Amino acid sequence: MILNTELEYKGNLFPSKIINYEKNINVLSFTADNGVVLQITVRRDSILRFRYTTTGIFENDFSYAITKYASRGYNHLEVEEETDVYVITTSKLICKVSKADMRISLYDALDNTLICEDELGFHWEESYQFGGNVVKMSKTAQPGESYYGLGDKPVDNNLKGKRFENWVTDSYAYGRDTDPIYKAIPFYTALHNKKSYGIFFDNSFRSYFDFCHERRNITSFWAHGGEMNYYFIYGPQMSEVVANYTDLTGKPHEMPALWALGYHQCKWSYYPESKVKEITSKFRELKIPCDAIYLDIDYMEGFRCFTWSKEYFPDPKRMVKELADDGFKTIVIIDPGIKIDMDYSVFKEGLDNDYFCKRADGPYMKGKVWPGECYFPDFTNPEVREWWSNLFQELIEDIGVKGVWNDMNEPAVMDVPGKSFPDDVRHDYDGNRCSHRKAHNIYGMQMARATYQGLKKFSYPKRPFVITRAAYSGTQRYTSSWTGDNIATWDHLNIANLQAQRMAMSGFSFVGSDIGGFAEQPNGELYARWIQLGIFHPFCRTHSSGDHGDQEPWAFDDTITNVVRKFIELRYQLLPYLYTAFWRNVSDGIPILKSLVLHDQEDTQTHYRNDEFVFGEKILVCPVNGPNQKGRRMYFPFGRWYNLWTDEIVTGGQEMWVDADLDSMPIFVSEGAIIPKYPIQQYVGEKTIEELTLEVYYKLGKETSQVYEDAGDGYDYIKGRYSLRDFKLTGKEDELIIQQFKTGKYITTYKTFKLNLHGLPFKIKKIEVDNVLIPIENLISSSNALVIDKEFTELHIMA
């Protein structure tokens, strides 16, 4: 199969028959006659790790992706030897290992159905050029199987029929189907017969995945070095697969600060200081909410990281303070390339301490980036990460910068064929010395990690904020991310939609696109439609290269400005809802965006849908993705959905037309939902929240909703200072009951809820709060709104 570099010399090699089996608690080892060893580790009932060596000797077991916090343990483990196979049984899975050739097949332990089976299974080719092997795995695709995930691939949701490469690459103005681009997340989820499983191939070398592209019924993956080392994660719910993968590779280490969920404005570049102030003042003047303003590379002195241009920013500390007083958090870019300049302290320190990457034969890795010729810190060395983290002290502690934006960390190198380091560059890899072939895909992740460590240290007791362009599996623990240098076209709006969904499905939710497009310029309509989509992305920032004109909310005309304001305001209103979705992501690994297939895998209509997605738990969104549209057709998943604008109810399981003029977009709320809202603020913390609005959507039947809040910053929430409200809604023909269950020690600033009741099928005659009749005057009857004490435990609204 595939490539194959060495095929003329020596083709695929395979394990031979098993001659020995050993069990050491949860680690099972099978040795073949020709020296191949397969090690199966039972991590959980639903997670098995498969690891192969062709020489009988495993490499040091080290991974940047797997977190030490990952859950472990299982309820049941039994191994039996049969005539042709070894059978490993957990409470979720049955795994059979063929004695003749080590091939694997996996079954659901409950009903014995086949989930996944090896075709050729593990095989390899020796790599004459580099040593080691090209390691390969092939599996038989099951009838009707489809595939999702794999990070930032700019393609339709379902990956079936396609082949991909994982090699993080600076991809200016990439397009649909460009591959690879900035991220390497070698994890996919598969679905067939209503059952879902995932495969995480934890190998940082250049790797490939083929989903029935080369051969119609074969799925395969392989890498140019390292071990065949993959985790099989069983669902059967796709949401469990994603949550378990996220548990394995890590949930974000902390909640994001609430302000980080506000709107961010960026451009390459806002300078000098007067320009920055002009932009921020305009936001306040036009009353368009905004929380963060970015400084791109021109804030530095000759693009030297950790310096400021004296000409453009003579007094950064004062400026950052003034911006902060106006509610703006300043975020600055920091790239990995350190300018070769003996008078530049960061360079000198790096050189003196031997922190820069070197070529195999000794010279430093020299490459051109924005500052000209640079050396690059070896972020895979823990000592270098520590040094790097300390470089942020002045920026954060002294100047007051609130976030750092890591870019070009693929690492990008200009004017060279591979756009990056050559293969022979040496890395520490946390004591597992290796070449760039192995370290390339994790380099950007380790840079973001070092930056995160610095921000965490110096922002304390506040929460850190980092954003990165390059990423490998697990990067979500440290940072948010964006999808890189896209283009101002309608198709890129679609691509942004797909990438944000796909990243969420790949364990990395805190992601957004350059709204409006980085390269070229959108017209007002495209910009407005993109903002409409962007406010539903966990990370929400406008950014543009700036060489094609302005891209601020007011850069078009008043109609556009008004549409943009309206939607950014909606984002600010939905902050407690979004924050709750983040909390579920941080605590349980639940993705913030759910592609329809993730929302309802049993409905085969969802398997090929791309545009619609569920934001949080209850809101269904579908962007308008073409010019001159007055609406669009979209698919509604099963259930009943309220139109956010009109309260009209749509029954799911069908495709329908939805009106959506430029000032609107298709947004629907699932019936029975209780959606929390804050008042519109120009920035997070502008207002003390005096009342929490709850949009209550009647349903005949039961539904639950949650609202999570805390101080919005700091770490007290970890010590129990959070407020979690679990609402149970029960709708009857003539009554609506809402129960509230409250946990956590955080006391919210507001004392009351304002309930807006949607879709009540009866006229209200009687209201009881905790068994006490309350005067009907509490009801604003014209709008079916009700103000009640936030401490209520049971509310009855009766006909």
Place of tokens 């609005």: 693
At residue 114, what are phi and psi to the nearest 5 degrees? -75, 130
The residues near 525 (Cβ < 8 Å, ≥ 6 apart) are 560, 627, 628, 662
Rounded to the nearest whole angstrom, what is the least distance from the CB of residue 297 to ligand GLC in the complex? 4
Report the nearest approach of ligand GLC to the CB of residue 366 (Å). Answer: 20
From 222, 268, 344, 356, residue interacting with ligand GLC (rule: CB under 6 A): 268
Question: Quick one: 251 or 537, whose CB is closer to ligand GLC?
Answer: 537
Q: Which of 180, 367, 484, 534 binds ligand GLC (CB under 6 A)?
A: 484
**H/E run at residue 568:** helix 558-573
User: Out of 45, 202, 210, 485, which residue is the one contacting ligand GLC (CB under 6 A)?
Assistant: 485
Q: Does 152 bind ligand GLC (CB under 6 A)?
A: no
Q: Report whether the peptide linkage leading into residue 411 is cis, meaning its omega lies within 30 degrees of zero.
A: yes
Contact predicate 360/436, CB 8 Å: no
Count of residues engaged in binding ligand GLC, rule: CB under 6 A: 9
Per CB under 6 A, 252 contacts ligand GLC: no
- Count other Cβ atoms within 10 Å, centred on residue 460: 13
410 in catalytic set: yes
Measured from the CB of residue 404, what is the shortest distance to ligand GLC in angstroms?
Answer: 13
Whether the CA torsion 198, 203, 205, 210 is positive or negative: it is negative
Please tell me the distance from the alpha carbon of residue 321 to that of residue 769, in angstroms, as a whole number: 47
Q: Using the rule CB under 6 A, which residue among 210, 407, 428, 612 binds ligand GLC?
A: 407
Q: Report the nearest approach of ligand GLC to the CB of residue 487 (Å).
A: 12
Nearest approach in angstroms of CB 539 to ligand GLC is 13
Q: Which residue has the tokens 């380099």?
A: 443
Nearest to 331 by CA among 271, 263, 401, 399: 401
Quick one: 333 or 503, whose CB is closer to ligand GLC?
A: 333
Residue 43 or 543 with smaller CB distance to ligand GLC: 543
Per-residue tokens: 306: 């950790």
Q: Is the dihedral of CA 383, 384, 389, 390 positive or negative?
A: positive
Q: What is the dihedral of CA 335, 339, 342, 347, to 10 degrees?
A: 20
Tell the smallest beta-carbon distance from residue 462 to ligand GLC (Å).
25
- In the list 179, 296, 617, 713, the residue contacting ligand GLC (rule: CB under 6 A) is 296
Q: Which is nearer to ligand GLC, 53 or 406 (CB)?
A: 406
Q: How far is CA 664 from CA 216, 622, 631, 646, in A?
A: 42, 11, 9, 11
Question: Least distance in Å: CB of 543 to ligand GLC?
Answer: 6
CA-nearest of 283, 281, 288, 289 to 259 is 289
State residue 164 phi and psi, 5-degree precision. -135, 155
Whichever of 296 and 671 has its CB closer to ligand GLC, that residue is 296
For residue 234, list its beta bridge partners: 197
DSSP 119-149: EEEEEEEE-TTTSSEEEEEEEEPPTT-EEEE
Q: Compare residues 448 and 581 and give the one whose CB is closer to ligand GLC.
A: 448
**Residue 301 CB, nearest approach to ligand GLC (Å):** 15
Three-state SS at 434 = strand
Catalytic residue from among 410, 552, 671, 713: 410
User: In the complex with ligand GLC, which residue's Cβ is closer, 551 or 625?
Assistant: 551
What is the closest distance, in whole angstroms, from the C-beta atom of residue 235 to ligand GLC in the complex? Answer: 35
State the Cα–Cα distance between residues 621 and 500, nearest whole angstrom: 13
d(Cα 469, Cα 182) in Å, to the nearest integer? 7
**Short-list 439, 399, 403, CA closest to 423:** 439
What phi-psi label fits residue 417: left (phi over 0), alpha (psi between -120 and 50 degrees) or beta?
Answer: alpha
Choice from 65, 141, 243, 333 touching ligand GLC (CB under 6 A): 333
User: In this complex, which beta carbon is closest to ligand GLC, that of residue 133 or of residue 409?
Assistant: 409
Closer residue to ligand GLC (CB): 132 or 484? 484
Cis peptide before 269 (omega within 30 of 0): yes
DSSP letters along 178-214, please? --S-SEE--EEEEEETTEEEEEEE---SSEEEEESSS
Taking the complex as a whole, how short is the minimal distance between the CB of residue 294 and ligand GLC, in angstroms?
A: 9
- Residue 465, helix vs strand vs coil: coil
Q: Which is nearer to ligand GLC, 333 or 391 (CB)?
A: 333
- The residue sitting closest to ligand GLC, measured at its beta carbon, is 268
Kind of pairing between the strands at 480-482 and 466-468? parallel
| Least gap, CB of 413 to ligand GLC (angstroms) | 13
State which of positions 533-552 bind ligand GLC (CB under 6 A): 543
- Asked if residue 232 lies in contact with residue 238, where contact means CB atoms within 8 angstroms, the answer is no
Taking the least distance from each CB to ligand GLC, the nearer of 268 and 312 is: 268
Q: By C-alpha distance, which of 795, 744, 742, 787 is closest to 767?
A: 795
Q: What are phi and psi of 162, to 5 degrees?
A: -120, 160
C-alpha 538/C-alpha 168 separation (Å) is 22
Q: Is 297 in the site for ligand GLC (CB under 6 A)?
A: yes
Q: Is 415 a catalytic residue?
A: no
Active-site position among 156, 291, 485, 600: 485
The DSSP bridge partners found for residue 139 are 118, 219
Closest contact distance (angstroms) between CB of 773 and ligand GLC is: 59
Q: Which of 407, 428, 514, 695 is catalytic?
A: 407
Cite the beta strand spans of 638-686 per DSSP E.
640-643, 649-651, 654-659, 667-670, 674-677
For ligand GLC, the closer of residues 412 and 505 by Cβ is 412
Q: How far apart are CA 744 and CA 710, in angstroms?
A: 9
**Any idea which residues carry the catalytic annotation?**
407, 410, 485
The binding site for ligand GLC (CB under 6 A) comprises 268, 296-297, 333, 407, 469, 484-485, 543
